[in-house]
Structure 1
């Protein structure tokens, strides 16, 4: 075999240099991920005596409101457009005096990872009434479209941009596999704007029929996913250009396209916005780029082995030499990201995200086993020209491609599942309730807001918001529907104006009745109560 031209630098060193460079370019700003509601004012399920001047929603992280709607007891709706953002709290002005009955505050916000979150809170004025109907049904048609868009976007980025890189850097500009790469790139170019429009629909909770509405696209572009789509389109375009560019620019364009794959994935998503971002965003970039390098080379390599086996030796040799460090980067980055996202082994079984991760890991175990057999058993005979081994290698690569597509499908399902890390952040937040009567009022906060050992903090006031110098305060928690009799704990006053109950154990999640027995004088006890929702651990 004649020596390779001097212009062909070692593939591994070039690739790793590019990965390190782009990792430095995508170092993040601060953000959190996948917001969860932790408190409302008025509290969900409470009864207040008078119409509040404003409402508030407190989340586990900063959010951007998309749609805020108030539903009156008669079912009529009112759009709430006057609000302020105060760190993690959305403060909403109440534009009217509310009548008696049960009202619903419906909200839809978008979190820092670009994923929309919605829900509703109920409260009553004076006395409860029949709750107005508020539809929060899952739009399965929209979800299926989002999953399809994600799947084809992954195919375009990994198989298309990765395939263009393999043709330019590993295959010595052979045309075998070029049509497949072009096809996947075109799929990605179509899926990217399609996914952006679906993001806008999901953010607004709108049906597919509103896909062309300008507000849908404006909303989508304002989310972090808009950056992902923009970078993805650039990466796909550069990869496509590399297939038609002069040989002088082909490698540079293909490398830029591969780098863009990592940049697109690092721009948004669960893993990218996890803390610490100085670590997670570069890891997402490295993970995505390594996936594109590996999976993008499979189809062109299989096709050249099948149709031009005599010319496949250089491609096969270069790929087999470069793949080991690339897989090491892929496995190490994926492992660290999984640990950050899942946190505890129990979350692998107890959450939808964890179960999808287990499925992905099972597929990857099969894939790595198959790839190892190919690398250590079949590659050398195939390079030597053994036609039977070459045919076996082609079949094995075909199976690898099927597994890769299955992994893409699983990964696309993560779009609908908050990671355990985000759930843990939400669970650690306190739950609060404001209890208001004519004689006394209180702000009760329980931290963390889930079952287990907690601490309760209370601020006691008169019914007109004045100071109340209580002689003694007792917290009483009960859950009659679960057969739990009242748990009474005297509160202490540490000197900061609050009353506290430490080392309190709440055994079950669910709706509890919280009562405060306030000793106002030696002869008068004021009792105020309200329901409070305790989350599961």
Structure 2
């Protein structure tokens, strides 16, 4: 059990906290924009489907009132109905906390303004962030789960096919039971900590209602299914492994050069389990392994069918390889007759090579999909952790190659034990890195987050003694295809009808004459729409001259820079 203590101890090393794996990529109204009237609905678009956390998605008016209804998600877009605020002018806040498709929490806030910007409302403290106790607990439970499946797969494989007949099975059987218990414990921990990922509460604050909602959610149903599979596996697998199967393979393995292990060649093959039981165990094992990628990165990635399948293969290969190493190191390398090891180790070496081949192949598929681009390997935390994991894996493969050469050469002594010990120690690090890796934003999402959503174009509010005018120019590019949309208000924020709109644009360096831009009032009265032309790169002085009555007229100015 030293393996488990070392594995858990590795989690005390500094690691990146749990991160969300969906990212907001757009919103309506646009983040930072200034619009003319309070909207009846706001939307936030994410990079992947999300589920709103009850009570944690809201729109806050400039005076601090919460004016939003229940959020509804359509695909990757979350729609939030909004009622008219008592004091509609000023800055609004869209505060949200949702759960991404890969079961990780996403929190954030986006602001926009109506009429003119004001002081931004404060976001609720419970909307953003995950409690430190949950940030620690989630990767711990994942690591315990990974350790559990390795302690099931490795000993079970040896007990079924490679176990020497005269070695006691009790230790390996106990290890399988421990693996089943650890996996069940990790699954229960994942269920118990899921509500807090959404609510932002500490690990110990969870209600019966929250747990009920979790169990009945898609995430919870998958984990409940995993628990059911573990229960059935325990009933099928443990009796099957408790006695040695007298199969043709068993005769070959135990009869090669070790007199104490010889079984008569003419003895009929007998089995202690039914013909269908092994197939049922394999099918249940595959279904149980599938619950990991179905609640993680793979299900939310492009080509999810491929990534989920690759995830199952990756975990199965990892469990066979690392679990087999642990079984060798703890139970077989010491106290087993050298001639028996001379038969067992070459077979195990071939199996390990196949497992590693599938491990690398499935891992490569996942990396290509999750990274998004090659530069994400060194530009993102996910990529850097992946490089570290690959480096440790390469070291393990080096030790495995050394051990294989010794096995082929017929040496099964201290050198092989040292090589296997190195493999086990390095594999502990691989599992720890894996548990952190699944909590960090994949490269494809990190790249999205590097481009925060912002209001497009140029928006500003200009004031005079007669009025306040808010406008947006989009997209502010060279040429004549730029649109200007303006809203007119009284100095105290009420809508104001304009009798006449005029807008000019003048390049300041080199200084050119001001050019009138076409703009016309809309039937709504306080709005106008037109176009802007920027023939040359540089800074333009934009002047609004607006007549509000037969005799009242005022001009306001600002400047905007247009790139080359």
Superposition TM-score, scaled by structure 2 size: 0.68
Residue aligning to 1:129: 119
Residue aligning to 1:237: 231
Deviation at 1:400, TM superposition (A): 2.0
The one of 56, 62, 72 equivalent to 1:84 is: 72
Are 1:52 and 2:81 counterparts? no
Are 1:215 and 2:207 counterparts? no
Deviation at 1:264, TM superposition (A): 2.4
Are 1:94 and 2:82 counterparts? yes
Q: Distance in 2 between matches of 1:454 and 1:421?
A: 32
Q: Could you give the per-residue CA deviations for residues 76-119 of structure 1, whole angstroms, max 9, x where no partner exists?
A: 6x484423334432221123515355443210112222222111
Are 1:165 and 2:157 counterparts? yes
Q: Could you give the per-residue CA deviations for residues 480-535 of structure 1, whole angstroms, max 9, x where no partner exists?
A: xxxxxxxxxx999xxxx997999x99xxxxxxxx99959999x99997999xxxxx
Residue aligning to 1:297: 324
Pairs within 5 Å for 1:316-335: 316-335=345-364
Q: Could you say which structure has the larger radius of gyration?
A: 2
Q: Could you give the per-residue CA deviations for residues 410-462 of structure 1, whole angstroms, max 9, x where no partner exists?
A: 1111233111112335667975459597767558469xxxxxx9999865556
**Partners of 2:139 and 2:439 within 8 A in 1:** no
Deviation at 1:288, TM superposition (A): 1.6
Q: Distance in 2 between matches of 1:132 and 1:261?
A: 44
The one of 287, 295, 304 equivalent to 2:314 is: 287
| CA gap 1:411/1:37 in 2 versus in 1, 3 angstroms | same
**Partners of 1:168 and 1:250 within 8 A in 2:** no
Q: Distance in 1 between matches of 2:363 and 2:479?
A: 37
Unaligned stretches of 5+ in structure 2?
1-19, 241-271, 462-467, 489-494, 508-515, 519-528, 547-552
Deviation at 1:319, TM superposition (A): 1.5
Q: Distance in 2 between matches of 1:455 and 1:276?
A: 40
**Partners of 1:440 and 1:528 within 8 A in 2:** no
**Partners of 1:68 and 1:79 within 8 A in 2:** no
Q: Distance in 2 between matches of 1:140 and 1:277?
A: 31
Q: Distance in 1 between matches of 2:481 and 2:154?
A: 55
Residue aligning to 1:30: none
Residue aligning to 2:58: 69
**Partners of 2:502 and 2:544 within 8 A in 1:** yes
Deviation at 1:404, TM superposition (A): 1.7
SS in 1 for 2:328: helix
| CA gap 1:473/1:351 in 2 versus in 1, 3 angstroms | farther
Residue aligning to 2:426: 403
Residue aligning to 1:148: 140
Deviation at 1:155, TM superposition (A): 1.0
Moved more, 167-176 or 265-274: 167-176
Q: Distance in 1 between matches of 2:541 and 2:49?
A: 32
**Partners of 1:157 and 1:261 within 8 A in 2:** no
| CA gap 1:153/1:119 in 2 versus in 1, 3 angstroms | same
Superposition TM-score, scaled by structure 1 size: 0.71
**Partners of 2:95 and 2:123 within 8 A in 1:** no
Pairs within 5 Å for 1:273-284: 273-284=300-311
**Partners of 2:150 and 2:319 within 8 A in 1:** yes
SS in 2 for 1:90: strand
Residue aligning to 1:120: 109
Pairs within 5 Å for 1:340-359: 340-359=369-388
Count of residues paired in the alignment: 458
Deviation at 1:242, TM superposition (A): 0.5
SS in 2 for 1:358: helix
Residue aligning to 1:509: none
| CA gap 1:133/1:471 in 2 versus in 1, 3 angstroms | closer
| CA gap 1:500/1:47 in 2 versus in 1, 3 angstroms | closer
| CA gap 1:374/1:82 in 2 versus in 1, 3 angstroms | same
Deviation at 1:197, TM superposition (A): 2.1
The one of 400, 407, 420 equivalent to 1:371 is: 400
SS in 2 for 1:91: strand
Q: Distance in 2 between matches of 1:51 and 1:406?
A: 54
Are 1:191 and 2:186 counterparts? yes
| CA gap 1:515/1:361 in 2 versus in 1, 3 angstroms | farther
**Partners of 2:473 and 2:484 within 8 A in 1:** yes
| CA gap 1:457/1:206 in 2 versus in 1, 3 angstroms | farther
Q: Distance in 2 between matches of 1:129 and 1:443?
A: 23
| CA gap 1:124/1:244 in 2 versus in 1, 3 angstroms | same
Pairs within 5 Å for 1:357-506: 357-378=386-407, 380-382=409-411, 386=412, 389=413, 391-425=414-448, 431-433=454-456, 442=472, 444=474, 460-461=484-485, 463=487
Q: Could you give the per-residue CA deviations for residues 99-157 of structure 1, whole angstroms, max 9, x where no partner exists?
A: 35544321011222222211112345544226425423442211101111010011112
Aligned CA RMSD, in angstroms, stands at 4.5
Unaligned stretches of 5+ in structure 1?
1-32, 447-452, 477-489, 506-513, 531-537
**Partners of 1:155 and 1:184 within 8 A in 2:** yes
Moved more, 395-404 or 230-239: 230-239
| CA gap 1:359/1:475 in 2 versus in 1, 3 angstroms | farther
| CA gap 1:131/1:237 in 2 versus in 1, 3 angstroms | same
Q: Distance in 1 between matches of 2:103 and 2:504?
A: 44
**Partners of 1:370 and 1:396 within 8 A in 2:** yes
